[in-house]
Amino acid sequence: MHRILFRWLVGAVPVVFGVTVLTFVLTSLVPGDPGRTILGANASPAQVKVLDAQLGLDHPLPVRYWDWLTAALHGNLGDSITSGVPVSDQLTSRLGTTLSLIGGAILVAAVAGVALGVLSALKGGWLGRAVDGIALVGLAVPNFWFGLVLMTAFAVRLPLFPVSGYVPFTDSPVQWFESLVLPVLTLGVPATAPVAKQTRDGVLTQLDREYVRVLRARGVPERSVIFRHVLRNAAAPIVTVLGVVVVTLFGGTVLAETLFVMPGLGGLAVTAAQTQDIPTVQGVALVFTVTVMLINLLIEVVYAMLNPKVRT
């Protein structure tokens, strides 16, 4: 386990550094001037130049990145250029929305995907072909189109759920759940496809193994054979696929939060990028990168627990 942690640390540091550098450079190349955005179109060039100097935007790009990096290493992510609010406060206020969205989508993808995969492996026939078809459709259909379909069906024609917005759990657990249903399904249902297909293939592979025939010959109940032995031995590749799905969900939050007008990190990143608010974009990118790296670490740990060969 210590070896896994050490290997993760060795790989995480350059990844986080590379992402912050790339994000800083790409955001700086976005057309426009933050000073002009703040002051408006009627501001004179002299006023814009003075504000850029106050914000430190007149410094060379490497100097500006070094200043940000040294402050970030001391726990200071800076202030938003456009609003003046500390970036850490913005991230804290919006993190709960994004985590609720991703957590719900992971739950949908994992539960529905594993259930469909096991069922199709055991029943076969048309159900197996249906899972293959769902997998292809889920990978091909854009999330934004699926979200619009859900919004039209269950928020406009049948007003069962709110069309936009987010209610914190502390304000109302019921309204919190209702505000998450459509965006969670928008991300979670398409993500079910690869999990279901991997589960089906893994279970079919294990069902052909010798130990399954031995367990059945000994009279072990079929439910125990499937859930205590087959599914456990097929879990390692399923966990790997789930890890890939989780990483893609972070990119999907930008779309879902924009489509359903949710105050999350994805929407914050879009707004900040449009105004060249580099400290805010850097903060969001840093949170996303560290979270993804922690998820990769968790996947490696779980994979090692499921596969003794990895531990040795």
Position 263 in a domain: yes
Between 37 and 209, name the one with better pLDDT.
Answer: 209
Are 239 and 134 in a shared domain? Answer: yes
| Rounded mean pLDDT, 259-278 | 85
Position 80 in a domain: no
Cβ atoms of 278 and 57 closer than 8 Å:
no
Least confident of 47-51, 84-88, 204-208: 47-51
Position 284 in a domain: yes
Mean pLDDT of the chain: 83
Are 21 and 115 in a shared domain? Answer: no
**Short-list 218, 196, 198, CA closest to 206:** 198
Are 68 and 103 in a shared domain? Answer: no
Are 60 and 104 in a shared domain? Answer: no
Position 12 in a domain: yes
Among 73, 102, 136, the domain boundary falls at: 73
Among 73, 99, 133, the domain boundary falls at: 73
**Short-list 118, 113, 111, CA closest to 139:** 113
| pLDDT the model gives residue 180 | 92
* CATH number, domain containing residue 282: 1.10.3720.10
CA 12 to chain centre: 17
- The residue to which tokens 């410094």 are assigned: 59
Which residues pair with residue 86 across a beta bridge?
79
| Residue-wise pLDDT tens digits, 29-82 | 777 677 776 776 677 778 777 777 777 777 788 888 888 888 888 888 888 887
Between 271 and 134, name the one with better pLDDT.
Answer: 271
Position 273 in a domain: yes
Q: What is the spatial distance between Cα 197 and Cα 208, in angstroms, rounded to a whole number?
A: 17
| pLDDT the model gives residue 252 | 83
Are 138 and 54 in a shared domain? Answer: no
Are 54 and 126 in a shared domain? Answer: no
Is the pLDDT at 311 greater than 60? The verdict is no
Position 79 in a domain: no
Q: What is the spatial distance between Cα 79 and Cα 87, in angstroms, rounded to a whole number?
A: 5
| Rounded mean pLDDT, 282-286 | 89
Collapsing DSSP states into helix, strand and coil, what is residue 217? helix
Are 128 and 219 in a shared domain? Answer: yes
Number of separate domains in the chain: 2
User: What are φ and ψ of residue 58, in 5° steps?
Assistant: -90, 0
| Residue-wise pLDDT tens digits, 6-29 | 777 777 788 888 888 888 888 777
Are 261 and 295 in a shared domain? Answer: yes
Interior angle at CA 96, CA 91 and CA 98, nearest 5: 85
Position 82 in a domain: no
Q: CA neighbours within 13 Å on the CB side: how many for 128?
A: 9
Among 29, 49, 73, the domain boundary falls at: 73
| Residue-wise pLDDT tens digits, 132-141 | 676 667 667 7
Is the pLDDT at 310 greater than 60? The verdict is no
Position 18 in a domain: yes
Are 57 and 191 in a shared domain? Answer: no
| Residue-wise pLDDT tens digits, 216-264 | 888 888 888 888 888 888 888 888 888 888 888 888 888 888 889 888 8
Are 29 and 122 in a shared domain? Answer: no
Are 140 and 48 in a shared domain? Answer: no
Are 65 and 94 in a shared domain? Answer: no
| pLDDT the model gives residue 65 | 87
The residue range of the domain holding 14 is: 2-73
Collapsing DSSP states into helix, strand and coil, what is residue 79? strand
| pLDDT the model gives residue 104 | 92
Residue 81, amino acid: I
| Rounded mean pLDDT, 153-166 | 88
Q: How many residues does the chain have?
A: 312
Contacts of residue 255, Cβ cutoff 8 Å, sequence gap at least 6: 143, 144, 147, 266
Q: How many CB atoms lie within 10 A of CB 102?
A: 24
